[in-house]
């Protein structure tokens, strides 16, 4: 293998002994880890009319059973701390350990959501300052921190769009979305009660502005866009795009998934966007948690501020407090006030980096993506000619045409070579797409290692494609039968 | 502070490899008009020790629950979290990974989620669970969304459902186009346009509901029965599946997750197998690999936004997996007998607390004839908010103010953590606060 | 493989890519993880006469480099949390996670050793209560918590022995030690300035009391013994033994390595011991840390109390404080007051278990050892006939005689079968010794799994001994050339 | 609380397999006379949540360094510990393992220790290091033990060596039979019976010593030169190896380890290759496996107690490996330029603090003509212990009282953590305390 040291490694090979059943395989009737204080008050069971007859089949295990079982499972999992994880659109950057330490402070972790405002002044100030920073970063007037993830942020934005239009004549039914958009965009649009109207891409992989011009009309509530788009390309005609939508009275929504590309260089607000969501678990490196949690704050321009979810943090003479007196608000989007523990980590990231650090993050994210794109270009050309920003979409189509090997096979082979592969088959507009987002926290040597592995896979595809089709062979399990999983549903013990 | 590893030399080399002369050039595609000409209005970066000092200073301005003895609930509870939960859930292979798109590299997460789904099914007496939703309130939104459709757009919600959940449901309803009506009593009027009946048991006042009556009405009217449950009650209370629920949802925070001032929490949802294709979010299934070795994958993905786009059941993508891991470990720690003892401890300690508090002159149970589990509503001689503030001064988080008809009551929650001496001290402080200024 | 589920698993097999250099292999000139606050006071370098010319070759790496490197190394290490770890004499029992959480409380972790006593009342009370509990457990009058490990505890005890004799006529030069003793015993004896006199074992594996009777004389400062001894056997004539030594004016030292066997059932003090050390990292489950830290508190009978190291915790009217006014003390054995962080964990263990829990610990430790001994007896008989307590010493000699396979080969084969092997070749009095201490925290299924693996190894030894001689084959490295390591010393980069 | 997993049924089965009828029978070998007839005088066991509550209550009775701003040193320092150090050293595969007797299962620990040894050699400019000793004081004991022998039994210790170290040395000396003499100045009188000369640089008063003078005398007399160093100084101060030290020892706590009220700490020792076989404790070496793959093992074990028994160099067995892991990660975080910047920050902040404090009337440097690194001795107009107490009231840990000739001075240590505003506040509080009651 060429190109520098390997940073990641596959999960360990399964020996005969490494196979593990579920935690139930360790269960022994009568064993138990938990203990409670002696009940020193009178026993008062719930009335028998309400009681449970049988017992749920929970495991009966000791602490050491739990510790070994879940430690073992963790070792069967590849994380960022294991190695390179260039999932496109996910911004899998290093998750600072310091943020974990901070979020675990009892002052943050051990506070109840319904404590009086006076007892959580520290957190409220953190939220208030974070909101100000997010507004500065995006060029918005105010923001809500309530949405617990990007998709909920989208819903929040779209419901505000809906409420705004209801106050301004109403009757708008359509939301425009480029064909390269992430699946959550159309899903959110539908759940918000709008119809999805697709906007085609042009030969550059950008919004086809002429097509857009034909699509905009007074039925259009708005347009959702990420910029740079999911191809990693900056929408160069962004001003024209936002003007077109504004021209028919629509609002423009910025999907912040790709904010890592532009921090300190340009701001959605300055491009004409009205609503912006941010994925803290992307841009601000809050851990992805194996699938979540995240947080999806949403910023808006001045005129949308009345519609923000209830409550918002307000600063008063006596300190900070929740403002719940918001008659035009779209209401609550989360049972409490969002993923506070995630937002505290985001605050740590934003203020530790500062204006200078955030700007540099975007520069180096772009540098890494462009460098890696250049290294792999011969085997896996980028799908569109433009210079990518923080991520690029390459295609395995030439390789497939020549060898029959697909992007998925390449991905699986990368696993054997020690890497988590990139996103594949997204965005849908690119055949055999490989969407690679290295992020700024990866070293040159890691990028070269990954490029080397991709090159090796391409060579093998040409020489002996079965090596790729058989892959992976070094993992605890090999390729899994997904069709069977969906047909013979086994979703629990 | 900056985590990018680049040295000046490397930047030069990399730029030259891509044929650029400066980092700035990488931003040339951005039209000049929209390029930011000034620094962001955020202070410059600081070191790790400074950010820690800053946030520690903020954190100590809060009065946390190591300091205030907690009798607050309202859906989020101060149950004990054994140390092993986060010692394990906090392993970085878990928390630094993402959605298991490459199952061969993610058997750890996938198996834990399979176990989580199994545990939620066992708890609820239902047949299928997913791999987590955002929180209890949004789980209810998803459950209602599963029920709404084909001419059934009215949603009947018992007045015992937490108003925060109802508010959240109402917000989403504006987009999803269902109509929400709150009803009193246990016999909702279920007409053919009703999609579902939503009941909380224990309800927001801690009271045990005659769930079978609500759900009998629902089923008679052809509507789905949705129960909001408390996972900590299910060692002692009959499970939703047995009570007739078609879908059950809950706030899963109490299962090993910190209070975190409201999040990250854990939305639980379980349903009957008939509804599996209407379920939102990730679902893990067991299968085999090419050699026949059992393994786990995300399954039924055709329901989801990344495949089905605007026709998806839900828009959820990032979920609360890490909280589900914690819940799985926590439930393993409890075990069936621990879950039962927990329930018994909660109900016993709550009963004791209710007795002590209502022995204070002027303090009565707001719903005196109703059985409760671990939380109960008190009618106080003074405004509950003022009382809460007065008790903060005395070292207690006394509870949560809650509307009941047109008055405001105090919800008091008592978990297995609250000792007799804490309860006695709380009652004394309450008495003191009520006579005091 | 027979006998229930496997609890442990070997460290992952090394693929071509998993090989890792030292952290220096990731070093890039100019890269750096650390950052400091801006220096906002005048620069004041040390005078040039003192300054360092060159730079030490420390790694130049980023945080992600460090995180991946050391996460990767951790995964190349087998701990108790990985699986069964039956090292005899080491009491590798489950390390409660709760003790880690407690020791990390800022009130414990963030206190300076030289703070005024008035500012550390919490810790001083913890130490005082722990001392009382250790005295209750061992039957001693007082204890020092200062020694940072068992060997230092031995030294402490022997220096007290020395000081005591100096005050009582002096002139004693010899310390008796059974031939089954741990290496630290003779080493400590020598460092304390005594001569080692070995005491032979009898056919039962116990102290040969007749031989002992001949060895005791007025040159004898004392006897060091663990009971049960390193064979896991209780010295049934313990009263006779201690009387013999006392009879000549000697003192008797109890090596607490095996205290896990007898808690709540008998006490060294009641057997006639004068000095007792405890290994908190054994009996009280404080983590072994890959080799340390531990703590080695030493308890003594009344008459030795004046000699305890300085200072000791005292309780006064105004609270707790360090008593430094101890004219006959042997002085300090540690720069500060010992491994406080470890002692806090020990406190948690002792008081969470309580009298009832500790007694049950010893019962179940013995049960586990006896059960496992019974399961493996056919292939690996115990070296001596007596009923072992918390550990047993089996021998691979019959197997070796028949197949040529040695205990070490069996141990290496166990690694491939998913287990950390027991101690081998200790105690020295048993040929091909396998010293197995399962501890009470292991499950019946785990013991059966280990027994199954031992049986499999024995079968293989008879059928194809090369399988054992080649083992291990599943580990990142296979058998290492120790002779070469000692010959071609490479001890640093 | 009890971690044994046994159920009643299992106990019965296991007893029957070993031919016993009760657990008590397993203790039959114990003579009746010595069997304990009553329960231990320790309270009965409690649950996890109770032990946490108990110890938390104790911990908050301490005034920790999140609360008191720390200017105390005396060998243990409040340097900043980056979060990653314990996030990594705290991985359970490390901390739940033991001495790597089976190297194939322990390459992780072994490699970290090899890196640790390398780093200590690099820091000190010496050739060989071991894998840790208990702490700085016992490391000095071991160093002296390496030097003593063959007619050389006198140990000359500079009066700048921390008295806690000297006391510890004296205790061990009683057994090991060396004689310890403290000398003033930098020209010890090294006769042929002198085994070694021990110098601290920086010394206990923070002062930079003319080390070469001390060591010149040592070497002229054929004795070994032993330096006590501060690892945090070695980015800016010339390393022991360059100053002529044959053996160098230190308290390694500041390298990423918490203050822990005195332990667990980390004893560092490094020496010249000639002395490798006299080194105490574990040493890791690189070698190859049967296939030629590089790997690590414990080496030169013939020095150690488990092989050599009474002839061993040292009795150490359990050491401070986990602290060495933390130190390794910490030094990787620092890097060479970070180590240098750290030193510069310490000396600059200390100089600033000295200037501010000595501007208080009556407060002077006790050793005004001596250069110092990060710690300095103040002569105060009042008893230092009283001043320390008065400053605790004001939120500061002012320093450590220390004897200097026949007076008592205050040692003030200033690390990179102490900001200018903290120093200014400290000086103001000191002034206030000195005029106050
Ligand atoms: C472009 C884009 N938009 C929206 C989302 C949804 O964000 P979340 O997963 O936080 O709900 C994603 C997530 O991957 C995304 O990549
Ligand atoms: C019997 C015995 N004595 C003494 C010791 C030394 O204890 P430590 O390693 O804590 O110094 C041990 C350690 O393994 C031992 O097993």
- How high is the mean pLDDT of chain A? 94
**pLDDT reported for residue C378:** 97
pLDDT band at residue B302 using 50, 70 and 90 as cut-offs: confident
pLDDT band at residue C488 using 50, 70 and 90 as cut-offs: very high
The residue-averaged pLDDT of A3-11 equals 36
How does pLDDT run along chain D (437 residues), one tens digit per residue? 889 999 999 999 999 999 999 999 999 999 999 999 999 999 999 999 999 999 999 999 999 999 999 999 999 999 999 999 999 999 999 999 999 999 999 999 999 999 999 999 999 999 999 999 999 999 999 999 999 988 999 999 999 999 999 999 999 998 878 999 999 999 999 999 999 999 999 999 999 999 999 999 999 999 999 999 999 999 999 999 999 999 999 999 999 999 999 999 999 999 999 999 999 999 999 999 999 999 999 999 988 888 888 888 899 999 999 999 999 999 999 999 999 999 999 999 999 999 999 999 999 999 999 999 999 999 999 999 999 999 999 999 999 999 999 999 999 999 999 999 999 999 999 999 998 75
Neighbours of chain C (3+ CB pairs under 8 A): A, B, D
- Contact A234/B30, CB-based, under 8 Å? yes
End-to-end alpha-carbon separation of chain D, Å? 50
Q: Does A247 touch chain C if contact means CB atoms closer than 8 Å?
A: no
Q: Does A5 touch chain C if contact means CB atoms closer than 8 Å?
A: yes
CA distance D11 to C367: 8
CB-nearest partner of A5 from C25, C417, C441: C25
The residue-averaged pLDDT of B53-73 equals 98
For the cut 90, the answer to whether the pLDDT of residue B163 exceeds it is: yes
* CA nearest neighbour of B256 among B413, B112, B416, B78: B78
Burial C437-451, CB ≥16 within 10 A → b, else e: bbbbbbbbbbbbbbb
- Tell which phi-psi region holds residue B399, choosing left (phi > 0), alpha (psi between -120 and 50) or beta: left
For the cut 70, the answer to whether the pLDDT of residue B219 exceeds it is: yes
**ipTM > 0.95 (yes/no):** yes
Ligand 2 site, residue D315, Cβ cutoff 6 A: no
- Chain A CB contacts of C81 under 8 Å are 67-68, 71
Task: Report CA torsion sign: D51, D54, D57, D58.
Answer: negative
Neighbours of chain A (3+ CB pairs under 8 A): B, C, D
List Cβ neighbours of B269 (8 Å cut-off, separation of 6 or more): B129, B130, B133, B139, B142, B143, B247, B248, B249, B279, B280, B281
How many CA within 13 A on the CB side of residue C52?
A: 25
Q: Which pTM was predicted?
A: 0.97
Note the ligand closest to the C-alpha atom of A91: 1
- Contact A64/C442, CB-based, under 8 Å? yes
**pLDDT reported for residue C18:** 44
**pLDDT reported for residue A8:** 39
Tell me the CA–centroid distance for residue D325 and ligand 2, in Å: 22
Task: Report CA torsion sign: D271, D272, D273, D278.
Answer: negative
pLDDT band at residue B166 using 50, 70 and 90 as cut-offs: very high
* CA nearest neighbour of C271 among C231, C233, C212, C227: C227
Task: State the Cα angle at C461 between C456 and C462, rounded to 5°.
Answer: 100
Ligand 1 site residues (CB inside 6 A) read A 89-90, 149-151, 182, 184, 226, 230, 255, 257, 279, 294, 296; B 317-318
For the cut 70, the answer to whether the pLDDT of residue C14 exceeds it is: no
**pLDDT reported for residue B177:** 83
Task: Name the residue at shortest CA distance from atom 5 of ligand 2.
Answer: C150
**pLDDT reported for residue B401:** 98
C18-73 per-position pLDDT tens digit: 456 999 999 999 999 999 999 999 999 999 999 999 999 999 999 999 999 999 99
**pLDDT reported for residue B303:** 84
The residue-averaged pLDDT of A383-388 equals 94
Given a contact cutoff of 8 angstroms between Cβ atoms, the answer to whether B51 and A102 are in contact is: yes
For the cut 50, the answer to whether the pLDDT of residue A12 exceeds it is: no
Ligand 2 site, residue C148, Cβ cutoff 6 A: no
Tell me the CA–centroid distance for residue A228 and ligand 1, in Å: 14
List Cβ neighbours of B384 (8 Å cut-off, separation of 6 or more): B399, B401, B408, B409, B410
CB-nearest partner of B371 from A46, A183, A375: A46
CA distance C236 to C387: 11
Given a contact cutoff of 8 angstroms between Cβ atoms, the answer to whether C61 and D115 are in contact is: no
B121-141 per-position pLDDT tens digit: 999 999 999 999 999 999 999
pLDDT band at residue C486 using 50, 70 and 90 as cut-offs: very high
CA distance C18 to chain A (A): 6
Given a contact cutoff of 8 angstroms between Cβ atoms, the answer to whether A373 and A394 are in contact is: yes
Query: Which parts of A89-217 are beta strand (E)?
Result: 142-144, 174-178, 195-199
**pLDDT reported for residue D437:** 59
Q: What DSSP line would sit under D304-317, residue for residue?
A: SHHHHGGG-S----
pLDDT band at residue C171 using 50, 70 and 90 as cut-offs: confident
Show the tokens assigned to C68. Answer: 């991946």
- Chain C CB contacts of A420 under 8 Å are none
Give Cα separations from B125 to A185, A187, A440, B239 (angstroms).
35, 31, 47, 6
List Cβ neighbours of D308 (8 Å cut-off, separation of 6 or more): C183, C187, D302
Given a contact cutoff of 8 angstroms between Cβ atoms, the answer to whether A259 and A285 are in contact is: no
The secondary element (H helix, E strand) that includes residue B179 is: strand B179-183
The secondary element (H helix, E strand) that includes residue A224 is: strand A220-225
* CA nearest neighbour of D171 among C297, B43, C147: C147
> At which residue do the structure tokens 């059943």 appear?
A21
**pLDDT reported for residue B437:** 59
CA distance B231 to chain C (A): 24
Residue A490 has φ and ψ, to the nearest 5°, of -130, 100
Given a contact cutoff of 8 angstroms between Cβ atoms, the answer to whether B10 and A448 are in contact is: no
Q: What stretches of D271-383 show up as alpha helix (H) in DSSP?
A: 305-308, 321-358
Give the relative orientation of helices B107-124 and B321-358 as an angle to the nearest 10 degrees: 30
CA distance B108 to A475: 12
Burial of B239 (0-12, 13-18, 19+ CB in 10 A): buried
In eight-state DSSP terms, residue C389 is S
CB-nearest partner of C61 from D17, D82, D332: D332
CA distance D116 to D100: 15
């Amino acid at each position: 293998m060429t190109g520098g040291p390997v940073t990641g490694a596959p999960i360990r090979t399964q020996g005969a002994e490494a196979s593990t059943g579920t935690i139930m395989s360790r269960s022994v009737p009568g064993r138990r880890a938990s203990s409670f204080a002696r009940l020193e008050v009178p026993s008062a069971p719930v009335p028998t009319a309400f009681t449970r007859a049988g017992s749920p089949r929970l495991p009966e295990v000791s602490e050491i059973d739990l510790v070994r079982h879940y430690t073992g499972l963790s070792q069967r999992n590849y994380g960022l701390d294991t190695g390179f994880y260039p999932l496109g659109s996910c911004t899998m950057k290093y998750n600072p350990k310091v943020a974990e330490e901070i979020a675990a402070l009892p002052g943050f972790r051990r506070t109840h959501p319904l404590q009086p405002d006076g007892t959580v002044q520290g957190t409220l100030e953190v939220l208030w300052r974070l909101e100000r920073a997010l507004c500065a970063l995006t060029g918005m007037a105010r923001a809500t921190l309530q949405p617990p993830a990007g998709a909920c942020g989208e819903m929040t934005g779209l419901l505000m769009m809906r409420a705004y239009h209801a106050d301004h004549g109403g009757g708008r039914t359509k939301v425009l979305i480029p064909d390269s958009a992430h699946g959550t965009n159309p899903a959110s649009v539908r759940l918000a009660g709008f119809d999805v109207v697709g906007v085609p891409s042009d030969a550059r992989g950008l919004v086809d502005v002429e097509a857009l011009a034909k699509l905009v009309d007074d039925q259009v509530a708005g347009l959702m866009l990420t910029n740079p788009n999911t191809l990693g390309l900056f929408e160069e005609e962004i001003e024209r795009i936002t003007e077109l939508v504004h021209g028919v009275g629509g609002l423009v929504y910025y999907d912040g998934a790709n904010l890592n590309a532009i921090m300190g260089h340009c701001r959605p607000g300055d491009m004409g966007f009205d609503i912006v969501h941010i994925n803290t678990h992307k841009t601000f490196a809050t851990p992805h948690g194996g699938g979540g949690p995240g947080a999806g704050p949403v910023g808006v321009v001045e005129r949308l501020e009345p519609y923000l979810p209830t409550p918002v943090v307000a600063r008063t003479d006596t300190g900070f407090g929740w403002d719940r007196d918001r008659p035009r608000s779209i209401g609550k989007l989360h049972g409490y006030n969002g993923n506070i523990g995630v937002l505290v980590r985001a605050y740590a990231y934003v203020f530790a980096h500062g204006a200078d650090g955030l700007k540099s993050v975007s520069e180096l994210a772009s540098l890494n993506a462009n460098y890696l794109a250049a290294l792999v270009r011969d085997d896996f050309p980028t799908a569109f000619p433009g210079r990518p920003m923080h991520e690029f979409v390459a295609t395995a189509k030439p390789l497939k045409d020549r060898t029959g090997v697909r992007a998925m096979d390449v991905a699986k082979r990368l696993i054997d070579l020690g890497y988590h592969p990139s996103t594949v088959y997204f965005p849908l507009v690119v055949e055999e797409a490989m969407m690679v987002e290295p992020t700024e926290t990866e070293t040159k040597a890691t990028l070269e290692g990954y490029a080397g592995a991709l090159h090796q896979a391409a060579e093998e595809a040409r020489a002996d494609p079965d090596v790729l089709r058989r892959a992976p062979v070094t993992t605890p399990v090999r390729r899994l039968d997904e069709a069977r999983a969906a047909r013979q549903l086994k979703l629990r013990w | 502070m900056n985590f990018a590893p680049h040295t000046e030399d490397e930047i030069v080399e990399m730029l030259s490899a891509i044929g650029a002369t400066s980092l700035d050039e990488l931003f040339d595609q951005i039209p000049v008009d929209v390029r930011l000409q000034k620094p962001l209005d955020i202070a410059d970066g600081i070191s790790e020790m400074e950010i820690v000092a800053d946030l520690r200073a903020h954190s100590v301005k809060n009065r946390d629950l190591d300091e205030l003895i907690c009798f607050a609930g309202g859906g989020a509870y101060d149950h004990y979290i054994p140390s092993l939960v986060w010692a394990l859930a906090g392993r970085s292979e878990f928390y630094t990974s993402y959605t298991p798109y490459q199952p061969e590299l993610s058997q750890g997460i996938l198996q834990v989620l399979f176990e989580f789904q199994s545990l939620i099914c066992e708890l609820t007496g239902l047949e299928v669970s997913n791999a987590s939703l955002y929180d209890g309130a949004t789980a209810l939104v998803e459950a209602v969304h599963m029920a709404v459709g084909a001419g059934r757009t009215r949603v009947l919600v018992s007045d015992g459902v937490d108003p925060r959940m109802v508010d959240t449901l109402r917000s989403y309803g504006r987009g999803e186009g269902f109509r929400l009506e709150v009803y009193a009593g246990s016999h909702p009027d279920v007409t053919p346009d009703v999609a579902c009946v939503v009941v909380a048991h224990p309800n927001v006042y801690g009271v045990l509901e005659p769930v079978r009556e609500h759900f009998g009405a629902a089923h008679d009217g052809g509507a789905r029965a949705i129960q909001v449950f408390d996972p900590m009650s299910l060692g002692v209370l009959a499970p939703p599946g047995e009570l007739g629920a078609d879908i059950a949802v809950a706030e899963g925070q109490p299962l090993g997750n910190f209070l975190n001032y409201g999040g990250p929490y854990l939305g639980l949802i379980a349903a009957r197998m008939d509804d599996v294709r209407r379920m939102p979010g990730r679902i893990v299934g067991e299968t085999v690999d090419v050699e026949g070795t059992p393994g786990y994958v995300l399954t039924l993905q055709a329901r989801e936004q990344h495949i089905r786009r605007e026709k998806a059941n839900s828009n959820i993508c990032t979920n609360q997996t890490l909280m589900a891991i914690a819940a799985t470990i926590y439930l393993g720690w409890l075990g069936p007998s621990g879950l039962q003892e927990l329930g018994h401890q909660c109900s016993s300690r709550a009963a004791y607390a209710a007795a002590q508090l209502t022995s204070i002159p002027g303090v009565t149970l707001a719903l005196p004839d109703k059985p409760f589990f671990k939380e109960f509503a008190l009618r106080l001689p003074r405004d509950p908010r003022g009382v809460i503030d007065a008790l903060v001064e005395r070292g207690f988080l006394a509870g949560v103010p809650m509307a009941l008809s047109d008055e405001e009551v105090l919800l008091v929650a008592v978990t297995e953590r609250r000792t007799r001496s804490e309860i006695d001290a709380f009652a004394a402080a309450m008495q003191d606060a009520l006579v005091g200024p």
